[in-house]
Structure 1
Amino acid sequence: MKNNLSKILNIFIAVIAVIGAFLFVNIFMTDEGDTAALSGSVGSIVTFSTILLYFAVGATLLLSLFSLFTNPENLKKTLLGVAALGVVLVFAYFLADSNAVLDTQGKVLVGGEAGASSNQWVGTGIWYSVCLGLVASLFFVYDLVKGLIKS
């Protein structure tokens, strides 16, 4: 079964590579003066790449979820990690403000009025990054001290 799956995946990869190579060569065979044809050939490889990206993301998500649900111990650890990130997000949300966003002349930017929810969420993202950076730094120092003590 595993050998057959490997053969199928190799054939699938070869088909994707041939299609990609054909689309790539098609760009070079298109006349540079014909902008419509050049746009069409570039657009086709961009569309193909986008489809491959969506397929890769979808396969990754599905396989990750399948792995989580087949291993309850990992599911519990993942849910605890997501809950901890949620707590940090709530903490960061309360640290953030929704003050007006000013430009260099002191004028309020369009969409940056005081009380705008986008201001609150941008501030939340900044504080979230700072909080996670602090937590990571603490774990780094802890690991460093732990390694020095063992030596």
Structure 2
Amino acid sequence: MKSNKILNILIALIAVVGGILFIRIFMEDAEMLQTDGDLQNKVISPIIYFSTFLFYAAVGIAIVLSLWSMIRNPENLKKTLLGLAVLGVVLVLAYFFADSEAVLDTQGKVIPGGEAGTATNKWVGTGIWYSIALGLVASAFFVLDLVKGLIKS
């Protein structure tokens, strides 16, 4: 119960700070805010830094709590490592399927930075194949679950 109160106070504090920073933006003249770099830096930068800090804190807390949960339950650790290994194998397969050919525009000319053999082209292709593979697996499980639901009915 005590930790719930502390969490509520922390959430309220974050909301108040965010609200104050947000209100500061609306207190300034809109035209001046668009043209004056010093004013932008004075008013907008604090809310960006605050939001970035909250984002990194949320990611860090999520990672730490996930790791803590896995350490406390070794069975989950085995399942997680197996899942990561399978994702790694899919990534390696996607990398081998990806090509690193030149990227052409509609006129058939090579786009700047899209020359043949670049690492960027290879990793973009890998990302596309990886997404396709994971999408196919997800679709297969969706259809399987749908068929199981129809059979039970």
The reply to whether TM is greater than 0.5 is yes
C-alpha distance in structure 2 between counterparts of 1:132 and 1:83, whole Å: 14
> How do 1:26-37 and structure 2 match up within 5 A?
26-32=24-30, 33=32, 35=36, 36-37=38-39
Contact 1:31 1:37 in 2 (8 A): no
Report the equivalent of 2:19: 21
Kept in 2: contact 1:96–1:127 (CA 8 A):
yes
Q: Secondary structure at the match of 1:89?
A: helix
1:29-48 correspondence to structure 2 within 5 Å:
29-32=27-30, 33=32, 35=36, 36-48=38-50
Task: Kindly tell me the number of residue pairs found equivalent between the two proteins.
Answer: 149
Which consecutive unaligned segments of at least 5 residues does structure 2 have?
A: none
Q: Using the aligned pairs only, state the percent identity.
A: 64
Map 1:131-150 → 2, pairs under 5 A: 131-150=133-152
**Residue 105 of structure 2, aligned match among 81, 95, 103:** 103
Distance in 2 between residues matched to 1:129 and 1:26, nearest whole Å: 42
CA distance in 1, matches of 2:93, 2:70: 27
- Rounded to whole Å, the distance in 2 between the matches of 1:127 and 1:135 is 12
TM-score (norm 2): 0.89
Q: Distance in 2 between matches of 1:73 and 1:138?
A: 26
Q: 2: distance between equivalents of 1:38 and 1:128?
A: 40
Output the TM-score relative to the length of structure 1. Answer: 0.90
**Gap runs ≥5 in structure 1:** none
What RMSD, in angstroms, separates the aligned Cα atoms of the two structures?
1.6
